[in-house]
Amino acid sequence: MMERARVSKKLSFDAAHYLPGYPGKCANLHGHTWEVEITVEGAIDPVSGMVVDFIVLKKVVEPWIEKLDHHCLNDIITMPTAENVALWLRDKWLGAPRPVKLVGIKIWEAPDSCCEWREAL
């Protein structure tokens, strides 16, 4: 039986957004330095000792991060809450074959505020 493990890669981007109809300050245009953590799962390759190389994982996710970086997220995602940014990234991952299985995405809008999407058990 092959051993399995979970591997995560963290990236960041700067972007603005606003939440239409929100009854508070977030209804106004504002910006964040967003942190994204992508978690995948797979068998540990007996030769490389890895589930996936961190460089490969970064290369998969980086084009999507670049699309968000220094943009107004409302131009890309209809209601750009942290939850919907996580789902947008999930849909990008699921839209094409990938070397490993996606099991989680964690998004921080601020150092003390995050959302976590996890694959259903």
Answer whether 0.85 is exceeded by the pTM.
yes
- Decide if 71 is catalytic: no
Assigned fold of 4-118: Tetrahydropterin Synthase; Chain A (3.30.479)
Do residues 39 and 103 lie in contact, with contact meaning Cβ atoms separated by under 8 Å? yes
Each residue of 34-57: pLDDT tens digit?
999 999 999 999 999 999 999 999
Q: Which of 14, 30, 53, 75 is catalytic?
A: 30
Each residue of 79-100: pLDDT tens digit?
999 999 999 999 999 987 787 9
Domains of the chain, residue spans: 4-118
- Decide if 69 is catalytic: yes
Cα distance between residue 97 and residue 90, in whole Å: 13
- Decide if 109 is catalytic: yes
